[in-house]
C-alpha cells in the first residue's frame, strides 16, 4: 500500500532555531506537527494554505483533488499573524522550548462557523469540534514545517512508531494484508471478537488507539494504554498483532473523521480499516452508519473500509454473535459499547467476564480516576 499521495513525507531538520520569533502552541498541536513530520499526515508538509483550506471545507479534498477531510491549521490573532508574516519564518514552541520551524507562505482569515458546519455537519456550539473552531483565533497561517526536536518518548509514548517503522515491521513479518483498528476506549470482549474475526481474513491486525485530547467522561490515555497492553499480551497471537499508539486529538467529526482516520492508517501501511458504528461520533449528531456511507464518495482512497456488523452477546447462543450468524431477537442480546462500559465503570459496577476480560476490569478499577474530568 502506497502512502497517501504516493510518498511518505519526512520533515526534520538540524537547523538552529536561535534568534527566530517564537510562537507558542499547545501540546496537542505539537503532536500533530510531529505527525506531519513523520508522514502520518502525508501528503501534508505543514499547515494548509487558503486554497487547500477552502477545498477541504467545501469538498473534503485538497485543491489537487486528493482526499483530505480535516483541515490541519495554525491559528493566530491578528497581531501575531502580522509579526509572523513580517518574520517570514518562525519557531514553534511549547512552554518556551522551541522544537520546530514554520516557513510562512500565507496568512488568511476564515469564517469559523461556516467552516465548522462544513467539517462537522452542524454549527451547534455544544458539539466539541464546533466549540473548538468557534474559539479559534482570527487568522490562519499556512506553510511548511521542519521539526528539530522530537517530543520525549516517555511512558505514554512508548508504543508510538512512525509509518517508516510500521511499514518495515509489516514487511519483516511478511504481512501482505493488514487491517487497522481505531479506538478511543478500553477494550471490551465484543471489540476483541471483532478484531479476531478480522484476523481470520487478513495477515495482520494493527491495533492503533488514539492518545490525545478527549472529551470529559472518556477514558484517560493511560487507562486505554494499560488495558490494551494487558489484552494483547494475554489474548493475541504475538506474530499476528501489532500495537502502536496514535498521538492526536479526537475531533468528533463523525464521517469526515472516519476518512481522516483511514488515511492515517493507510500511511502506516494498512490495506484495510475497520469502520465502526457511529465512528468518531459524539452525542446524536451523526447517523450511526454515516461513517460507512461516506466511503462511497471516496472510491479513490485505496485503503479498503471493513464494515463488520456489530457483535453482541447472545444469551441463547451463549457466545458472541452478530446478525449474520445468529437468528435470535433483541430480547436475548446483550449489546456492548464504549458508552455502556464507561457507565458501568463510573457507577462502580464490575462488568461480567463475558463482557470484559477480568484482567481489564481489575486494571480499570485500580485507577482512582479512570476518566477525563
User: What's the burial of 15, exposed, middle or buried (CB within 10 Å: 0-12/13-18/19+)?
Assistant: exposed
Q: Compute the chain's Rg from CA coordinates.
A: 21
DSSP secondary structure, 217-262, as one string? TSBPHHHHHHHHHHHHHHHS-TTTEEE-BEE------THHHHHHHH
Closest CA to 145 of 55, 8, 10, 268: 10
| Other residues' Cβ atoms within 10 Å of the Cβ of residue 279 | 25
| Catalytic-role residue among 61, 184, 251, 333 | 184
Alpha-carbon distance 100 to 94, whole Å? 10
Which of helix, strand or coil describes residue 141?
A: strand
7 is known as an active-site residue: no
Alpha-carbon distance 211 to 246, whole Å? 6
| Catalytic-role residue among 35, 162, 183, 208 | 183
Please, what is the Cα angle at 151 between 149 and 156, to 5 degrees?
Answer: 165
DSSP secondary structure, 12-62, as one string? B-----TTSPEEE--HHHHHHHHHHHHTTTTT--EE--HHHHHHHHHHSB-
248 is known as an active-site residue: no
183 is known as an active-site residue: yes
| Catalytic-role residue among 162, 166, 185, 230 | 185
Alpha-carbon distance 38 to 60, whole Å? 23
Helix-strand-coil split of the chain, %, nearest 5: 35, 20, 45
Q: Which residues are catalytic?
A: 183-185
Amino acid at each position: 500500500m502506497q502512502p497517501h499521495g504516493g510518498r511518505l513525507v519526512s520533515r526534520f531538520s538540524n537547523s538552529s532555531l536561535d534568534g527566530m520569533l517564537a510562537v507558542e502552541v499547545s501540546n496537542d498541536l505539537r503532536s500533530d506537527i510531529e505527525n506531519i513530520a513523520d508522514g502520518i499526515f502525508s501528503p501534508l508538509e505543514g499547515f494548509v494554505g487558503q486554497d487547500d483550506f477552502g477545498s477541504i471545507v467545501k469538498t473534503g479534498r485538497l485543491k489537487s483533488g486528493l482526499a483530505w477531510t480535516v483541515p490541519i491549521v495554525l491559528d493566530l490573532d491578528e497581531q501575531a499573524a502580522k509579526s509572523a508574516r513580517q518574520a517570514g519564518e518562525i519557531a514553534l514552541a511549547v512552554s518556551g522550548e522551541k522544537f520546530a520551524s514554520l516557513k510562512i507562505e500565507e496568512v488568511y482569515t476564515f469564517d469559523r462557523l461556516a467552516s465548522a458546519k462544513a467539517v462537522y455537519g452542524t454549527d451547534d456550539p455544544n458539539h466539541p469540534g464546533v466549540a473548538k473552531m468557534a474559539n479559534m483565533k482570527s487568522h490562519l497561517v499556512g506553510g511548511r514545517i521542519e521539526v528539530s526536536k522530537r517530543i520525549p518518548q516517555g511512558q505514554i509514548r512508548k508504543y508510538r512508531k512512525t509509518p517508516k517503522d510500521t511499514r518495515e515491521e509489516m514487511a519483516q513479518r511478511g504481512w501482505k494484508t493488514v487491517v487497522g483498528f481505531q479506538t478511543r476506549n478500553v477494550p471490551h470482549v465484543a471489540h476483541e471478537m471483532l478484531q479476531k474475526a478480522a484476523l481470520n481474513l487478513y495477515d495482520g491486525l494493527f491495533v492503533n488507539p488514539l492518545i490525545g485530547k478527549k472529551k470529559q467522561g472518556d477514558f484517560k490515555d493511560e487507562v486505554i494504554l494499560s488495558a490494551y497492553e494487558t489484552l494483547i499480551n494475554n489474548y493475541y497471537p504475538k506474530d499476528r498483532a501489532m500495537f502502536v499508539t496514535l498521538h492526536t486529538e479526537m475531533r468528533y467529526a463523525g464521517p469526515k473523521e472516519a476518512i481522516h482516520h483511514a488515511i492515517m492508517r493507510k500511511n502506516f501501511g494498512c490495506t484495510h480499516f475497520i469502520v465502526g458504528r457511529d465512528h468518531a461520533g459524539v452525542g446524536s449528531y451523526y447517523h450511526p452508519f454515516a461513517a460507512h456511507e461516506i466511503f462511497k464518495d471516496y472510491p479513490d482512497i485505496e485503503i479498503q473500509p471493513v464494515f463488520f456488523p456489530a457483535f453482541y452477546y447472545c444469551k441463547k447462543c451463549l457466545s458472541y454473535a452478530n446478525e449474520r450468524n445468529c437468528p435470535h431477537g433483541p430480547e436475548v442480546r446483550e449489546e456492548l459499547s464504549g458508552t455502556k462500559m464507561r457507565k458501568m465503570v463510573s457507577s462502580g459496577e464490575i462488568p461480567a467476564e463475558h463482557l470484559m476480560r477480568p484482567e481489564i476490569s481489575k486494571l480499570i478499577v485500580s485507577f482512582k480516576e479512570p476518566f477525563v474530568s
